[in-house]
Amino acid sequence: MQAFEAVQLYFHRAADELGLDDAMRTLLITPEREVTVQIPVRRDDGTLETLIGHRVQHNGARGPMKGGLRYHPHVDLDEVRALASLMTWKTAVVNIPYGGAKGGVTVDARSLSRNEREHITRKFVDAIHKVIGPDSDIPAPDMGTGHEEMAWIMNQYGKYHGFNPGVVTGKPVELYGLPGREEATGRGVGVLTLKTLGRLGRKPSQVSLAIQGFGNVGSHAAKFLSEADCRVVAISDHTGGYYREQGIDVMQAVRHARNNKGLLDGLEGVEKIANEDLLELPVDVLIPAAIGGVITEANATAIEAPVIIEAANAPITPAADDILSQRGVVILPDILANSGGVTASYFEWAQNRQFYQWSLDRVRGELDRLLTQAFDDVWERSKKQGLSLRTTAFVLGIERVARAVELAGVA
């Protein structure tokens, strides 16, 4: 099943609960605009390469469209469309005044020099600057991009439209960024993991965790949860998994990765395992925080964790989701679990519009407050209506977007 088809499946399950008619379903699921562009780039060795980039603006009923920019070799239009639609429901679940969008360039970010990344980013902005903007569509980091790319986006956009830092979020703190945006997705994953454990009557000190992916999201989630007294027994990156039953020293791993181009290979005091095996460890909580589609029909029955927190977008296929749900596995869905990133982006954007900067404490406090509210809304409604957390999160998101469409009118 293609990625967008999978999101549509979840969408229709929730739309059935809401009794939405076919016309409204078609309106809500169809992207408003899709832009595919050529990005010609000269590599450092002089060769010319033509890359493809996409920006999908899924729905803007609740506000400017918002979503990250991914540099990854698997990026294609279907994936970007799926991720853009997830953003629409995510911003609605956490109730921030945005719609949903996503962008991507089909390229292995790790194969690029800094100069090449800058070149590609600026060329991409050259191609899409007319359709993005602080009131229309606001990019942010996703896999393979970070604060450097966001600074280049701001700068390149400014060459066409004048200085306006609110065109992009996830910028360096020294350049109109937000203290706390970089950690926000992982911190949010941590906060929501603790909320989930609390509802299940589990104490953090009794809990073991495995986290796949040690980039922005995975490393900050690991840090937050180990500081909260959870035992992080496995972490990984694309080079493999790293296991220690007594618990990994997460800060040592963070320092190691920082000095090793973001990679964990060579980390001492741990056993090397395969990424696939990490997913099947007998842990209390599994946190996929890397690519999508890692838990499928093929490995769902082998997953032992009774709780899965979807830090990555779409890490579980619908067939696997059904198998796990039937087994009673508690799954906190991506559109809630990783919503801390876009929520902090909202704070950054709001402050850019005021040329004002909050303190880190205030950012964390507001972030925790909004995420807690969204979590409680989803958890309580799920129990009341007897629906999975995923279907409930979709119901809540779709309901808010549909209401905005009805109130604003479409004709």
For residue 408, the minimal CB distance to ligand NAI (Å) is: 27
The answer to whether the annotation marks 195 as part of a ligand binding site is no
The answer to whether the annotation marks 272 as part of a ligand binding site is no
121 vs 313, beta carbon nearer ligand AKG: 313
134 vs 141, beta carbon nearer ligand NAI: 141
The answer to whether the annotation marks 66 as part of a ligand binding site is yes
Q: Which does 363 bind (CB under 5 to 8 A by kind): ligand AKG, ligand NAI, none?
A: none
In the complex, residue closest to ligand NAI by CB: 215
Residues with Cβ within 8 Å of 295's Cβ and at least 6 positions away in sequence, in order, are: 279, 288, 303, 308, 315, 316, 317, 320, 324
Measured distance between the N- and C-terminal CA atoms of the chain, rounded to whole angstroms:
34
List of E strands, 5-154: 33-42, 48-59, 65-72, 99-106, 137-141
**Calpha distance 387→133 (Å, rounded):** 38
The answer to whether the annotation marks 159 as part of a ligand binding site is no
For residue 169, the minimal CB distance to ligand AKG (Å) is: 5
The answer to whether the annotation marks 26 as part of a ligand binding site is no
344 vs 395, beta carbon nearer ligand NAI: 344
196-to-10, 320, 381, 393 alpha-carbon distances in Å: 21, 21, 14, 14
**Calpha distance 258→123 (Å, rounded):** 28
**Calpha distance 225→207 (Å, rounded):** 10
For residue 170, the minimal CB distance to ligand NAI (Å) is: 7
| Paired residues of 98 in beta bridges | none
Q: Which residues bind ligand NAI (CB under 6 A)?
A: 68, 141-144, 185, 212-218, 236-238, 275, 289-291, 311-313, 338, 341
**Calpha distance 68→143 (Å, rounded):** 8
CB 392 within 8 A of CB 112: no
Q: Which residues bind ligand AKG (CB under 6 A)?
A: 66-68, 90, 140, 142, 169, 313, 338, 341-342, 345
Residues labelled catalytic? 102
Q: Longest C-alpha distance within the chain, in Å?
A: 63
**Calpha distance 105→116 (Å, rounded):** 13
For residue 215, the minimal CB distance to ligand NAI (Å) is: 2
Q: Which does 311 bind (CB under 5 to 8 A by kind): ligand AKG, ligand NAI, none?
A: ligand NAI
Q: Which does 290 bind (CB under 5 to 8 A by kind): ligand AKG, ligand NAI, none?
A: ligand NAI
For residue 403, the minimal CB distance to ligand AKG (Å) is: 22
Q: Which does 66 bind (CB under 5 to 8 A by kind): ligand AKG, ligand NAI, none?
A: ligand AKG
* Closest-CA residue to 349 (of 187, 154, 124): 154
Q: Which does 103 bind (CB under 5 to 8 A by kind): ligand AKG, ligand NAI, none?
A: none
Point out the annotated binding site: 66, 90, 185, 216, 345
Specify binding-site residues for NAD(+). 185, 216
